[in-house]
Amino acid sequence: MAKKVTFNIDKKKDFSTWYTEIVKEAELADLRYNVKGFLVFQPMSVLAMEKMYEIYEKKLQEKGHLPYWYPSVIPSSNFLTEKEHVEGFSPDVFWVTEYGNHQKLEEPLALRPTSETAFYQMFSLWLRSYKDMPFKTYQRAQVWRNETKATRPFIRSREFYWIEAHNAFSSLKEAEKQVKEDMETAKEVLHDRFGIPFLFFKRPQWDKFPGAVNTYAADALMPDGKVLQQPSTHLLGQNFSKAFDVKFKDKKGKDQYAFITCYGPAISRIFASMISIHGDNNGLVFPFEVAPFQIIIIPILLNKNDKEIIRKAKSLQKKLSKKYRVHLDLTDNKFGEKFYQWEMKGIPVRIEIGPKELSKNEVILFRRDTKTKKNVKINLLQKEIEKTGKDLTKNLIEKADKEFKNNIISISSLSELKKMKGKFAHVDFCSIDKDGEKCAAKIEKEGLEVRGTRIDVNEKPKGKCIVCGKEAKIVVYIAKSY
Amino acid sequence: MAKKVTFNIDKKKDFSTWYTEIVKEAELADLRYNVKGFLVFQPMSVLAMEKMYEIYEKKLQEKGHLPYWYPSVIPSSNFLTEKEHVEGFSPDVFWVTEYGNHQKLEEPLALRPTSETAFYQMFSLWLRSYKDMPFKTYQRAQVWRNETKATRPFIRSREFYWIEAHNAFSSLKEAEKQVKEDMETAKEVLHDRFGIPFLFFKRPQWDKFPGAVNTYAADALMPDGKVLQQPSTHLLGQNFSKAFDVKFKDKKGKDQYAFITCYGPAISRIFASMISIHGDNNGLVFPFEVAPFQIIIIPILLNKNDKEIIRKAKSLQKKLSKKYRVHLDLTDNKFGEKFYQWEMKGIPVRIEIGPKELSKNEVILFRRDTKTKKNVKINLLQKEIEKTGKDLTKNLIEKADKEFKNNIISISSLSELKKMKGKFAHVDFCSIDKDGEKCAAKIEKEGLEVRGTRIDVNEKPKGKCIVCGKEAKIVVYIAKSY
């Protein structure tokens, strides 16, 4: 018997249940794999994430990055070369120590938790002259971290899928320019293509990537009002080039250490933000471009011209597959059940074809975000789908932007901040350098975090630090975080 | 100073040197990474292999496979569940045993050398009824094997990149049909798209995948006359479904064990065959569709209209990039050096534009395989590139097929076989079941291997077994192997 699906969970009121249930019901990932914190990603997420990789990689290549595949393992000795880095990452590392019948390896190998210590030893072999730079690289890869925080599918797991870009420059200025470019790339991809609004921050000094001079990162808001960090970009300066001897001859023939930046958009985590932001109480709503299937075709079989309807459905599938990812549901579930299933799974466009439509040479076109139906003549179908897809994505972006804007509020007193629920607060603050750490610690006791100052706009404080009452030097944003 | 490249190595006479040097000079992979048997894949191979993945995955999806991403680690206990499998793979496994500050994990985790023991425990959770089948899945992934044989870049390394498809069926017949489909897929992709000729064999019983009922595999010929195994497909029957309890209710409601097949095209190894077969004494020659860059644009700067030439080159790049992967070489190397470089790297089409071409509104189009040049009006360029790309690939396939055919010979005596050099021998043989193993062992002493019988054609032996002289039951193919 076919299973009846009636997904109906209030996303705003009970986001945690909504998220857990949709991951399971929409078959995004199966958590029953028998290693804790590791999961099996299923087709409904993998098809979308593959498309997301494609879009992100294309954008990086357009901006001059070239792709590499580095080994997944990093010798213990490499890993230990940069002092702050090893302190930051050591607790999380999985170690490969044996092979075959449990013989010991000569040296333990880290399963990469991130790849700075793999990339930069190669940079030191490849870079010779200022002419070799800018040197812009990336890899698509999974990384492994033995997270001590609670894992949640796509948001935080012990193996996750990301892109890491690593770049070398002959001047600090160019490296700083790269940080700006990374931020723009995040906007062009996360916001403009996936519909995820975010703010881009310079992180406080106490919240930097281990080994970085400065860390910059995007924060998106989840429906429960907590922020989720999205791509971060790190100005590593010369820290790693000194540790790994990445030197070049400048225009005067003098040896210099290269300036390095790295950038890490995590595809599986971006997927988490995307489905959470666009979903509704009945399940997922995918932007048209990245949906696992963009179109679902459902034949309405009422024992009347069934064969002809199936033939027509197949011919539509074949035709539309030249341009779109199309799935034809020929299971023997009832069509009402199919409607529920594919709505819950967030497929943007549904095409229904039954005896009535067949006779009129048209189909019914259902659009997931607005849940509206319209009859479309078959000869106009392709054009209508194109338009519907664009409209749907545009609508999702606009809705998300509006919601995001509504959740950013200005707060000017500590008592008000303590009462804040599910918002992102714009706050006058003393400093994100070392001297601000004490005030930040007080805020952390309330379960809140100072996320940093914006670098895309220059925001001036109007009054005193919300915590210590001293003259505020900056404006920061404060929220609960994942 | 720009490096002058003059790659000129006789591929036929000294394939081993040719291969080693081209991997280095064309910057396909860097072997200096400091873990033995692991390498850094560079853009000139990654760009091509990404395209190869795309083509292979699209074909699998068209045939009803859906993509998954499984964890890279497999608990020791899973791995030990199928007896023959564990015996076959144990010597090769890398073990993750510790985390953080070298604390012990509760259970050692295998870095997957292959994923049967990860997939099928999930199959047992997912499959309930004959209606759930055929169940066709795959993942693109890397696998790790602590190879004891000598490693060679792309051909055999300790981390390699592949696709593994895993499928469950409700009958043996359907599973056997899948084996045929896998073979066709190999033909449609390896031969028709990448230009790699091969023969598809049923492997001898003594050369099966550990845990399989039967193994089928493609063998391609390398220029040194040794065969390199390409995609293999394994009929696992019910061996793994019994070990992992993959059961379903048949039409009568009775519990049955599923019939399982798996299929493993190794993208990095297919890349090795592809570059070896099509390369010439001056370096690589990529088929048009999978070339890292399909077109290289080289402006001829002679201090005459330089600015205008560069502007024109940039506008051509922009225009052609809508359809092709295009690289514009604006380094300050001399253009003669650029010609050498990109020829050696195998870029199929080169566009040269200098003052003369500019004035006539045309370009020079160079084609890598034939090394011919022609002048083309800019308004006809796109059409000419399309045609050239198709012709080039067709030419590569035809050349490869001819060469392959010439290297398959019939041999009817053992003494003749012993003298054979760099060929694939068609031989009458007693049996590839257990009773043929002794004869095969004798052949192995000569450094040769019995690769199996063909399943695409029904070849009848004409005489006696070439080794023992008994009535030959079958025709086998014998060659040296990697």
Query: Which residues of chain B are within 8 Å of residue A161 when distances are taken between CB atoms?
Result: 69
In terms of Cβ atoms closer than 10 Å to its own Cβ (0-12, 13-18, 19+), residue A180 is middle
Query: Which residues of chain A are within 8 Å of residue B67 when distances are taken between CB atoms?
Result: 43, 46-47, 50
CB of A42 within 8 Å of a chain B CB? The answer is yes
pLDDT-derived band at B5, boundaries 50, 70, 90: low
Cβ of B32 and A125 within 8 Å? Answer: yes
Give the residue from B3, B27, B35 with the most A CB atoms within 10 Å of its CB, the best one to mutate. B35
Instruction: Give first-to-last CA distance, chain A, whole Å.
Output: 40
pLDDT for the residue numbered A88: 86
Cβ of B99 and A97 within 8 Å? Answer: no
Query: Which residues of chain B are within 8 Å of residue A108 when distances are taken between CB atoms?
Result: 98, 102
pLDDT digits (tens, 9 = 90+) for B169-179: 999 999 999 99
pLDDT digits (tens, 9 = 90+) for B100-120: 999 999 999 999 999 999 999
Query: Which residues of chain A are within 8 Å of residue B37 when distances are taken between CB atoms?
Result: none
CB of A47 within 8 Å of a chain B CB? The answer is yes
Closest chain B CA to residue A102: B95
pLDDT-derived band at B83, boundaries 50, 70, 90: confident
Give the pLDDT mean for B375-382. 97
Query: Which residues of chain B are within 8 Å of residue A331 when distances are taken between CB atoms?
Result: 131
CB of A96 within 8 Å of a chain B CB? The answer is yes
List the beta bridge partners of residue B142: B161
Give the separation between CA A253 and CA B311, rounded to whole angstroms.
31
Give the residue from B62, B96, B105 with the most A CB atoms within 10 Å of its CB, the best one to mutate. B96
pLDDT for the residue numbered A149: 87
CB of A141 within 8 Å of a chain B CB? The answer is no
Task: Look up the pTM and report it.
Answer: 0.97
Among A residues 329-368, those touching chain B with beta carbons less than 8 Å apart: 331-332
Q: Where are the beta strands (DSSP E) in B294-370?
A: 295-299, 326-328, 349-353, 362-367
Residue-by-residue pLDDT tens, chain A, 482 positions:
445 458 999 999 999 999 999 999 999 999 999 999 999 999 999 999 999 999 999 999 999 999 999 999 999 999 888 888 888 888 899 999 999 999 999 999 999 999 999 999 999 999 999 999 999 999 999 999 999 888 999 999 999 999 999 999 999 999 999 999 999 999 999 999 999 999 999 999 999 998 999 999 999 999 999 999 999 999 999 999 999 999 999 999 999 999 999 999 999 999 999 999 999 999 999 999 999 999 999 999 999 899 999 999 999 999 999 999 999 999 999 999 999 999 999 999 999 999 999 999 999 999 999 999 999 999 999 999 999 999 999 999 999 999 999 999 999 999 999 999 889 999 999 999 999 999 999 999 999 999 999 989 999 999 999 999 999 999 999 999 99
- Domains assigned to chain B: 15-278 (3.30.930.10), 295-388 (3.40.50.800), 408-479 (3.30.110.30)
| Residue A428 contacts residue A472 (beta carbons within 8 Å) | yes
Among A residues 296-335, those touching chain B with beta carbons less than 8 Å apart: 331-332
CB of B161 within 8 Å of a chain A CB? The answer is yes
Give the separation between CA A356 and CA A251, rounded to whole angstroms.
76
Closest chain A CA to residue B78: A34
Given A33, A71, A92, which is nearest B38 (Cβ)?
Answer: A71
B276: left (phi over 0), alpha (psi -120 to 50) or beta: alpha
Instruction: Give first-to-last CA distance, chain B, whole Å.
Output: 40
Given A41, A72, A111, which is nearest B68 (Cβ)?
Answer: A41
CB of A109 within 8 Å of a chain B CB? The answer is yes
pLDDT-derived band at B43, boundaries 50, 70, 90: very high
| Residue A12 contacts residue A223 (beta carbons within 8 Å) | yes
Give the residue from A30, A40, A79, A130 with the most B CB atoms within 10 Å of its CB, the best one to mutate. A40
DSSP secondary structure letter of residue B380: G
Max distance between CA atoms of chain B, in angstroms, equals: 83
CB of B53 within 8 Å of a chain A CB? The answer is no
Cβ of A131 and B102 within 8 Å? Answer: no
- Asked if the model's pLDDT at residue B2 lies above 50, the reply is no
What b-and-e string marks burial along A332-357, b requiring 16 or more CB atoms within 10 Å of the CB? ebeeebbbbbbbbbbbbbbbbbbbeb
Closest chain B CA to residue A38: B71
Give the residue from A31, A32, A35, A294 with the most B CB atoms within 10 Å of its CB, the best one to mutate. A35
The Cα of A78 is separated from the nearest Cα of chain B by a number of Å equal to 9
ipTM: 0.96
Cβ of B98 and A111 within 8 Å? Answer: no
Secondary structure (H, E, C), B425-471? EEEEECCCCHHHHHHHHHHHCCCCEEEEEECCCCCCCCCECCCCCCE
DSSP secondary structure letter of residue B459: P
Cβ of B95 and A96 within 8 Å? Answer: yes
Type of residue found at B43: P
Give the separation between CA B414 and CA B424, rounded to whole angstroms.
14
Among A residues 450-479, those touching chain B with beta carbons less than 8 Å apart: none
The Cα of A450 is separated from the nearest Cα of chain B by a number of Å equal to 28
Cβ of A94 and B98 within 8 Å? Answer: yes
